[in-house]
Amino acid sequence: MKVIICGAGQVGWQIARHLSGERNDVTVVDNNAELVRRATDSLDVQGIAGFASYPDILDRAGARDADMIIAATHSDEVNMVTCQVAHSVFAIPRKIARLRGQSYLDAIYSDLYRRDHMPIDVVISPEKEVADAALQRLSAPSAFDTETFLDGKAQLLGITIDETCPVVNTPLRQLTDLFSTLRSIVVGVRREGTLFAPEAGDQLFVGDQCYIFCHVEDVRRSMEIFGKSHRTQERVVLIGGGNVGLAVAQALEKRTTRVRAKIIEKNREIAEIAADELERTIVLHGDGLDGALLGEANISRADAVLAVTDDDKTNMLAAVRAKAAGCPMAVALINDPTLVPLMGPLGIDAYINPRATTVSSILRHIRHGRVRAVYSIGDAEAEMIEAEVLSTSPLAGKLIRDIDFPEGVLVGGVLKDSKLHKPSGKLRIDEGDVIALFTMTADVPEVERLLQVSIDFF
């Protein structure tokens, strides 16, 4: 597949890294020559320095025979015009744009993206993706990472194994025997910095970070088995009232279970906008690092704090200060992946990487086969892929034990006739089933082959 990626920032670079690693023909375009050089030096991609919306630049990037264009520059307008030029001049069949402006994303204006207007096939909103990720973190407070799959019936939980875990040093096959009715499976383990798909004889050790795929009804029980408590979140403090903080607060207000939320926002104008948009959320104007203001927000009585400003260091310090003031759970928004190793030593419970969530969202729309969801794990080390099994797939009609999966692939769950099944060797995969697979990045091409389908479904 020939792909043009416009924008060589963190999102564009990560997408290029994924696609070039899977032997696609990738060209990166950016008006910053240094970013283009970084991409071409470190990845197997071609690079063009110039403005992505200029027809001559796209022509040099190979737009005349490209299969897809991904517009992920920092400008919404450049992304939109790039897709228009890609459609009108070069007839590129698949166009994906990252848009931040809330007005562009309003449902009442969705007609804008029709093929005879502004032809964009997929619109990705980083703020919406990040807000969803923040709400996911709140749903499983003892997990450092979480995502839902299979129509909301399954959840991926990332948890750290500590001394309180009752099943430490127990082979995974014994867990299946001990908890036969538990609908969960360990699909990934990170040990001493290395992520791998475990085998039945592997054990879990203190310090391991383990990824568990489980039925949503068994989340609480799964957490208890792995030594984690499951707390309800009734009081939440948000540091930052911009697009992300506002989206999270609005989502919390819509919940059927009452959640009391407060926002602390440093910029008066942004604070006033948030106050106008929200009905039940208290908005405080001031610095989220101010101890007195945190006290006014009753941070010691809050169940969780979410630091979601646009500054990584502010988010980290605010999370640390909130924990020091007695808040049991702190989640920080972190754009710079090199800061992530500091989370543990600083006592920050979980983090959200907006670029990773955006990358996951884009990958969902470019994978081969009838892929319904993709979640990027760690530093692009692995993916959780959810896909519908089609009649052309080698999986269709086979028992799981008879399928030749690569070593780095494990089945997390199977949705069959709207019912979630825990994977077992004698479970048969049929056409129309939806399967969730944990896949090491190196094995993604082979998984795509197993999910293979005609070009019509791209």
- CATH number assigned to the domain comprising residue 41: 3.40.50.720
**Helices (DSSP H) in 226-287: which residue ranges?**
243-254, 268-277
361 pLDDT more than 50: yes
Considering only residues 145 and 2, tell me which one the structure prediction assigns the higher pLDDT.
2
Select from 225, 253, 277 the last residue of a domain: 225
Q: What is the pLDDT of residues 192-216, one digit of tens each?
A: 889 999 998 899 999 899 999 999 8
At 308, the pLDDT band (50, 70, 90 cuts) reads: very high
CATH of the domain at 135: 3.30.70.1450
Q: What is the dihedral of CA 74, 80, 85, 91, to 10 degrees?
A: 110
Dump pLDDT digits (tens) for 106-144: 766 777 777 777 888 888 887 778 888 888 777 777 788
| Residue 76 within any structural domain of the chain | yes
**How far is Cα 20 from Cα 158, in angstroms, rounded to an integer?**
27
Give the model confidence (pLDDT) of 218-242 as tens digits.
888 888 888 887 666 789 999 999 8
CB neighbours (10 Å) of residue 19? 23
pTM > 0.85: yes or no: no
Q: Torsions phi, psi of 194, nearest 5? A: -110, 125
Is there a single domain that holds both residue 311 and residue 363? no
DSSP state of 173: H
- The answer to whether residue 230 sits within a structural domain is no
Identity (one letter) of the amino acid at 382? Answer: A
Beta strands in 204-360 (DSSP E): 209-215, 235-239, 260-265, 282-285, 304-307, 330-333, 350-352
Same domain, 337 and 444: no
* Same domain? 363 vs 442: yes
Same domain, 117 and 134: no
Reported residue count of the chain is 458
Residues 6 or more apart in contact with residue 291 via CB below 8 angstroms: 321, 325
Per-residue pLDDT for 183 more than 50?
yes
> What's the number of domains the chain is made of?
4
**Joined tokens for residue 407:** 């070593």
- Helix, strand and coil percent figures for the chain, each rounded to 5: 35, 25, 35
**Cα–Cα distance list, 233 to 303, 320, 428 (Å):** 6, 19, 39
Note whether 241 and 332 are same-domain residues: yes
- Find, among 134, 68, 71, 69, the residue nearest to 100 by Cα: 71
Task: Go through 22-52 and write b for each residue having 16 or more CB atoms within 10 A of its CB, e for each that does not.
Answer: bebbbbbbbbeeebbebbbeebebbbbbbbb
Spatial neighbors of 33 by CB under 8 A, at least 6 apart, are 49
Q: Quick one: 105 and 134 in the same domain?
A: no
Q: Model confidence over 367-381: pLDDT tens digits?
A: 655 778 888 888 778
Q: Which residues contact 171 (CB under 8 A, 6 or more apart)?
A: 200, 201, 202, 203
Residue 93 belongs to some domain of the structure: yes
Q: Which of 288, 290, 297 is nearest to 261 (CA)?
A: 297
Given strand 419-421, what is the order of strands in its sheet? 370-377, 382-388, 434-440, 409-416, 419-421
Percentage of the chain lying above the pLDDT 70 cut? 97
Q: Which domain, by its residues, includes 379?
A: 359-457
